[in-house]
């Protein structure tokens, strides 16, 4: 019978413990500030737990935030809990179990760790769920996020260029579009609340292809359109259900067209005529397309078959 529990505590040079990038995902500057204040006032209350690998290198199992703050404070040595884990896949299990006690990891971190564990092919998802005392659905959802995420976007998260909550939303976009969109999000400083709106708009069946392209290539411009409440929306009750989706897509395209025309009018009013001349051939094509479009609109108005002119018909004429 064990009457005494001894913890394997050892003083180590903390600069020799490499950063655990997966554990570091989602640690904000405000969290680090609070942690620094706590360390100064109370010392290291929450222990740093590490595992020594066969090659002698240490891996952080828990306490990445405290470790990072201590390094920022130029602390050279600290006492850490050390343990030995023989199987590499058990390191990931230990991280997940320890972190779950304090709810420290986000879904992307959990998904990345689960994916690494499964690479060893020692467990299937059902067995891993039993080992971690989680449901199979919990395992499946986390893995799905990690697997949907573009590898280059995942690296942005690991390097802390992109916050994990934004990355989680971006994972819902087509994989080939994610990196370009994520790069624009970082460059244009798009807040995570707007990232969610943009991704939802992209996934909406009624969103036009033109707006989808704008969302990927120019998120800030797309947000101006999405938030634009200048025109009253067409109510669903006014349209037959079977035509509602097409009508919403039409409305989306028309709204984007109105916005683009407004921007072009402002540009034409200020741009130099010599510069404008460089785009003469392109403008000629646009004029031709607009002429065909207006004829189409007039034909639709005429074919409505009403004896009295509607407001729409009078506007077209």
Residue 51's H or E segment, with its range, is strand 49-52
Structure confidence at residue 244 (pLDDT): 61
Q: State the virtual CA torsion across 50, 51, 54, 57 in degrees, nearest 10.
A: -10
For the cut 60, the answer to whether the pLDDT of residue 41 exceeds it is yes
Tell me how far the alpha carbon of residue 78 is from its chain's centroid.
36
Confidence of residue 176 (pLDDT cuts 50, 70, 90): very high
Structure confidence at residue 98 (pLDDT): 57
Alpha-carbon span 93 to 58, nearest angstrom? 16
Q: Which residue has the higher pLDDT, 249 or 59?
A: 59
Tell me how far the alpha carbon of residue 192 is from its chain's centroid.
8
For the cut 80, the answer to whether the pLDDT of residue 253 exceeds it is no
Confidence of residue 282 (pLDDT cuts 50, 70, 90): confident
Structure confidence at residue 109 (pLDDT): 80
215: nearest Cα among 181, 257, 165, 253: 181
Structure confidence at residue 199 (pLDDT): 92
Alpha-carbon span 195 to 185, nearest angstrom? 8
Structure confidence at residue 233 (pLDDT): 44
Alpha-carbon span 74 to 79, nearest angstrom? 15
Q: What integer is the mean pLDDT of 85-101?
A: 62
How many other C-beta atoms are found inside a 10 Å radius of the C-beta of residue 250? 14
Is residue 195 a contact partner of residue 183, using CB atoms and an 8 Å limit?
Answer: no
Confidence of residue 178 (pLDDT cuts 50, 70, 90): very high
Q: Pick the range with the lowest mean pLDDT from 128-132, 242-246, 261-265, 295-299.
A: 242-246
Structure confidence at residue 279 (pLDDT): 83
For the cut 80, the answer to whether the pLDDT of residue 117 exceeds it is no
For the cut 90, the answer to whether the pLDDT of residue 248 exceeds it is no
Confidence of residue 304 (pLDDT cuts 50, 70, 90): low
Percentage of the residues of the chain whose pLDDT score is greater than 70: 79
Is residue 164 a contact partner of residue 109, using CB atoms and an 8 Å limit?
Answer: yes
Structure confidence at residue 182 (pLDDT): 94
pTM: predicted TM-score of the whole model, two decimal places: 0.56
For the cut 90, the answer to whether the pLDDT of residue 48 exceeds it is no
């Amino acid at each position: 019978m064990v009457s005494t529990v001894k913890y394997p505590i050892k003083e180590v040079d903390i600069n020799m413990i490499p950063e655990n990038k997966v554990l570091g995902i989602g640690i904000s500057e405000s969290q680090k500030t609070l942690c620094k204040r706590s360390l100064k006032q109370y010392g290291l209350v929450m222990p740093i737990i590490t595992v020594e690998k066969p090659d002698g290198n240490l891996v952080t199992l828990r306490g990445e935030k405290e470790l990072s703050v201590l390094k920022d404070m130029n602390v050279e040595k600290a006492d850490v809990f050390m343990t030995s884990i023989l199987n590499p896949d058990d390191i990931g299990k230990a991280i997940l179990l320890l972190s779950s006690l304090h709810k420290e990891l986000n879904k992307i971190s959990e998904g990345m760790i689960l994916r690494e564990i499964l690479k060893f092919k020692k467990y299937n998802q059902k067995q891993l769920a039993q080992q971690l005392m989680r449901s199979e659905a919990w395992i499946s959802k986390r893995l799905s996020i990690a697997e949907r995420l573009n590898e280059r976007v995942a690296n942005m998260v690991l390097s802390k260029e992109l916050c994990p909550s934004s990355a989680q939303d971006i994972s819902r976009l087509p994989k080939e579009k994610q990196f370009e969109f994520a790069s624009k999000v970082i460059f244009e400083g798009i807040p995570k609340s707007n990232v969610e709106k943009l991704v939802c708009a992209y996934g909406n069946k009624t969103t036009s292809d033109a707006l989808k392209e704008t969302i990927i290539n120019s998120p800030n411009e797309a947000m101006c359109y999405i938030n634009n409440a200048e025109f009253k929306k067409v109510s669903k009750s006014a349209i037959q259900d079977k035509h509602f989706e097409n009508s919403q897509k039409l409305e989306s395209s028309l709204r984007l067209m109105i916005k683009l025309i407004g921007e072009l009018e402002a540009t034409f009013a200020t741009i130099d005529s010599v510069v404008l001349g460089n785009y003469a051939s392109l403008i000629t094509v646009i004029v031709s397309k607009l002429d065909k479009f207006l004829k189409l609109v007039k034909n639709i108005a005429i074919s409505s078959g009403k004896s009295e002119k509607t407001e729409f018909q009078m506007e077209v004429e």
